[in-house]
Structure 1
Amino acid sequence: MNDDKDLIIIKCKDKTEEVEFCEFVKDKFEVRFRNNSEPYRYKSSNVCWYKDPKILDPKKWLVYENNSPVSGAISILDFGDYIKLKFQSGYKKLYKKSEIYMEETSLKNNSSKNIFEYIKKLAGQISVRDERDKSFLSNQYSKLEVISPRSVLSTYLEKKSLIKNDIEINAIFPFGFNQSQKYAAEKALNNQISVIEGPPGTGKTQTILNIIANAILNDKTVAVVSNNNSATANVLEKLQRYEIDFIAAYLGNNENKAKFLAEQNGKLPNMNGWKMPIEEFDLLKTELISSQKKLNEMLSYRNKQALLKQELSNIRTENEYFIQYYKETVFENYHFKSISKLNSDKILKLLIEYKQKSFKGKITLTEKLFNLLIYGVYDFKIYSYPPEQAISYLQKNFYEKKINEINIQLNALTKTLEHYNFEHEMKEYSRRSMNLFKAKLAMKYSGGNRSVFQKGDLWKNFDKFSNEYPVILSTTHSLLNSTGKNYLFDYIIVDEASQVDIVTGALALAAAKNAVIVGDTKQLPNVVPKEVATITNNIINSYGLEEAYNYTTNSLLSSFLTLFEDIPKTLLKEHYRCHPKIIGFCNQKFYNNELIVMTDEEDLNKPLVLYKTSKGNHARERINQRQIEVIFDEIIPEQKIDEGKQSVGIISPYRLQVEELSKVAGRRNIQVDTVHKFQGREKDVIILSTVANKVKAEDFVDDPNLINVAVSRAVDKLIVVASDGGEEWKGTNIGDLVRYIQYNNFEVIESKIYSVFDLLYSSYSDKLLDTLKKTKNVSKYKSENIMNVVISDILSLPEYQNLSYVMHQPLRMLIRDPFKLTDEEAKYAMNILTHTDFLIFNKVDKMPILVVEVDGYAFHANNPTQLKRDKMKDEILNKYDIPIIRLKTNESREDERLRLKLMDVIR
Structure 2
Amino acid sequence: MNFDKDKTKITGLAYNYQFTGYKQITIELERINNVRCIEGTKNFVQSGLKTYMKVPKVNNYFTDEINEKHILDYYADCIENSEDLAFVSTYLIEEFDLDKLLLSETMKLQKEEVDGILKMLNVNQDKVNEKYKLAFNVLSISNFDKEIIPLVYLSIYLDVFKQEISIDIKETVFHQKNISKLLKTPDIDPEIYRDNLEQLREDILSIQSNAPIFEENPLIFKLKVDLSLSPRKDFEKIKNIIYSNQELTPVLKAFFGQYQKPALSNNKNIYFIDNKVNADQIMAIHSVINNDLTYVQGPPGTGKSATIVNMVISSILNNETILITSYTNSAVDNIFEKMKRLKYKDFLIPFPMIRLGSFDYAKKGLDYIKRAYKYYISIKNSINIQELNKEYERKIGEEVRKILKINNIIQVNKKRNDVEIKINYYDKLMQVFSTHKKFKKNIPKLQKYQSAQKGQLTKLGKKNIDNILDELSIDYEVILLGIFIKSVKSFMLLDEIKYSYLNEIIFSKNLDEARKKLLNEYYLEENLNQLQKIFPVFLTTNISTRVFPFNGPTFDLLIMDEAGQCENAHSIVAMSKAKRAAFIGDPNQLLPVVTLSETTNNNLTYQYSIPDVYNYKKTSILQTLNQIDFMNDLILLRKHYRCRKSIVNFANKKYYNETLEIENDKVSSDDCKFINVKSEFYNKKKNTSLLEAVAIIEELKKIPSNQSIGIISPFRNQTLLIQNKINELSINKNVKVGTVHKFQGQEKDVILLSLAIGKDSYKGSYDWIKDNKQLINVATTRAKEQLIVVGDKLSIDNLSNGEEADIKDLIIYTSKFTASTFNEKSVGKKYGNLSSKYLYTNFEDLFFDTLQRLININKKGFRINGQTDVKQVLKIHADHPLFEYATKASFDFLVLDNKNNVKLAIELCGVEHKYDQKVINRDKMKNQIAKENGIEIIY
- TM bracket (short chain): 0.5 to 0.7
Is contact 1:151-1:511 (8 Å) kept? no
Match of 1:275, SS state, is helix
Q: Where do residues 97-496 of structure 1 align in structure 2 (5 Å cutoff)?
A: 111-127=67-83, 133-136=224-227, 138-142=229-233, 145-147=236-238, 149-151=247-249, 154-156=252-254, 158-164=256-262, 166-175=265-274, 176-242=276-342, 243-261=348-366, 264-265=369-370, 268=376, 270=380, 272=384, 274-276=388-390, 279-280=393-394, 282-290=396-404, 292=406, 429-441=475-487, 449=495, 451=499, 452=503, 453=505, 454-455=517-518, 456-459=521-524, 460-482=526-548, 486-496=552-562
Q: Distance in 1 between matches of 2:655 and 2:269?
A: 33
Q: Distance in 2 between matches of 1:561 and 1:526?
A: 16
Q: Where do residues 566-715 of structure 1 align in structure 2 (5 Å cutoff)?
A: 566-601=631-666, 606-618=670-682, 621-632=686-697, 634-637=698-701, 640-642=702-704, 644-666=705-727, 668=731, 669=733, 670-693=735-758, 698-715=767-784
1:125 CA drift (Å): 1.3
Is contact 2:402-2:474 (8 Å) kept? no
Match of 2:657, SS state, is coil
What is the letter of the counterpart of residue 317 of structure 2?
L
Is contact 2:250-2:579 (8 Å) kept? yes
Answering whether residue 563 of structure 2 is matched by residue 497 of structure 1, we say yes
Q: Distance in 1 between matches of 2:779 and 2:591?
A: 14
Q: Distance in 1 between matches of 2:546 and 2:229?
A: 13
Q: Distance in 2 between matches of 1:736 and 1:631?
A: 21
Q: Which residue of structure 1 lines up, in the alignment, with residue 145 of structure 2?
A: none
1:702 CA drift (Å): 3.7
Match of 1:246, SS state, is coil
Deviation track 1:54-84 (CA, whole Å, cap 9, x = no partner) reads: xxxxxxxxxxxxxxxxxxxxxxxxxxxxxxx
Q: Distance in 1 between matches of 2:564 and 2:366?
A: 31
TM-score, normalising length: structure 1 = 0.52
Is contact 1:174-1:430 (8 Å) kept? yes
Q: Distance in 2 between matches of 1:623 and 1:572?
A: 37
Runs (5+) with no aligned partner, structure 1: 1-108, 300-415, 749-907
1:523 CA drift (Å): 0.6
Deviation track 1:361-404 (CA, whole Å, cap 9, x = no partner) reads: xxxxxxxxxxxxxxxxxxxxxxxxxxxxxxxxxxxxxxxxxxxx
1:123 CA drift (Å): 2.1
Is contact 2:555-2:577 (8 Å) kept? yes
1:561 CA drift (Å): 1.3
1:169 CA drift (Å): 1.7
**Superposition RMSD in Å:** 3.7
Q: Distance in 1 between matches of 2:472 and 2:700?
A: 40
1:734 CA drift (Å): 1.6
Match of 2:76, SS state, is helix
Match of 1:623, SS state, is coil
Match of 1:461, SS state, is helix
| 1:540 counterpart (571, 588, 605) | 605
Deviation track 1:194-216 (CA, whole Å, cap 9, x = no partner) reads: 21101111111111111111111
Q: Where do residues 496-575 of structure 1 align in structure 2 (5 Å cutoff)?
A: 496-529=562-595, 532-575=597-640
| 1:722 counterpart (791, 795, 820) | 791
Is contact 1:250-1:260 (8 Å) kept? yes
Q: Distance in 2 between matches of 1:606 and 1:686?
A: 13
What is the letter of the counterpart of residue 449 of structure 1?
D
Match of 1:491, SS state, is strand
User: Max radius of gyration: which structure?
Assistant: 1
1:677 CA drift (Å): 2.4
Deviation track 1:567-618 (CA, whole Å, cap 9, x = no partner) reads: 332111111111111011111111111111112406x671111111115444
Q: Distance in 2 between matches of 1:187 and 1:223?
A: 17
Is contact 2:647-2:783 (8 Å) kept? yes
TM-score, normalising length: structure 2 = 0.50
Is contact 1:285-1:436 (8 Å) kept? no
Q: Distance in 2 between matches of 1:204 and 1:462?
A: 30
1:711 CA drift (Å): 0.4
Q: Distance in 2 between matches of 1:605 and 1:734?
A: 20
Is contact 1:615-1:724 (8 Å) kept? no
Is contact 1:499-1:525 (8 Å) kept? yes
**Cα distance change, pair 724–550 in 1 and its aligned pair in 2 (3 A):** closer
Q: Distance in 1 between matches of 2:248 and 2:234?
A: 18
Is contact 1:651-1:710 (8 Å) kept? yes
What is the letter of the counterpart of residue 610 of structure 1?
F
**Cα distance change, pair 215–739 in 1 and its aligned pair in 2 (3 A):** same
**Cα distance change, pair 440–289 in 1 and its aligned pair in 2 (3 A):** farther
Q: Distance in 1 between matches of 2:66 and 2:664?
A: 53
Is contact 1:288-1:429 (8 Å) kept? no
What is the letter of the counterpart of residue 721 of structure 2?
E
What is the letter of the counterpart of residue 170 of structure 1?
N
Q: Distance in 2 between matches of 1:723 and 1:488?
A: 54
Between the aligned residues of both structures, percent identity stands at: 27
Q: Distance in 1 between matches of 2:265 and 2:479?
A: 24
1:296 CA drift (Å): 9.5
**Cα distance change, pair 664–506 in 1 and its aligned pair in 2 (3 A):** same
Deviation track 1:773-813 (CA, whole Å, cap 9, x = no partner) reads: xxxxxxxxxxxxxxxxxxxxxxxxxxxxxxxxxxxxxxxxx
Runs (5+) with no aligned partner, structure 2: 1-64, 89-223, 242-246, 343-347, 414-463, 506-516, 822-939
Match of 2:67, SS state, is helix
Is contact 1:537-1:550 (8 Å) kept? no
Is contact 2:553-2:579 (8 Å) kept? no
**Cα distance change, pair 146–550 in 1 and its aligned pair in 2 (3 A):** same
Q: Distance in 1 between matches of 2:475 and 2:403?
A: 10
Q: Where do residues 64-79 of structure 1 align in structure 2 (5 Å cutoff)?
A: none
Match of 1:163, SS state, is coil
**Cα distance change, pair 111–437 in 1 and its aligned pair in 2 (3 A):** same
Q: Distance in 2 between matches of 1:130 and 1:435?
A: 54
The alignment covers a number of residue pairs equal to 516
**Cα distance change, pair 586–264 in 1 and its aligned pair in 2 (3 A):** closer
1:685 CA drift (Å): 0.8
Is contact 1:184-1:196 (8 Å) kept? yes
Q: Which residue of structure 2 lines up, in the alignment, with residue 742 of structure 1?
A: 815
1:153 CA drift (Å): 5.6
Deviation track 1:314-337 (CA, whole Å, cap 9, x = no partner) reads: xxxxxxxxxxxxxxxxxxxxxxxx
What is the letter of the counterpart of residue 575 of structure 2?
L
Match of 2:703, SS state, is coil
1:290 CA drift (Å): 4.7
Q: Which residue of structure 2 lines up, in the alignment, with residue 401 of structure 1?
A: none
Q: Where do residues 849-864 of structure 1 align in structure 2 (5 Å cutoff)?
A: none
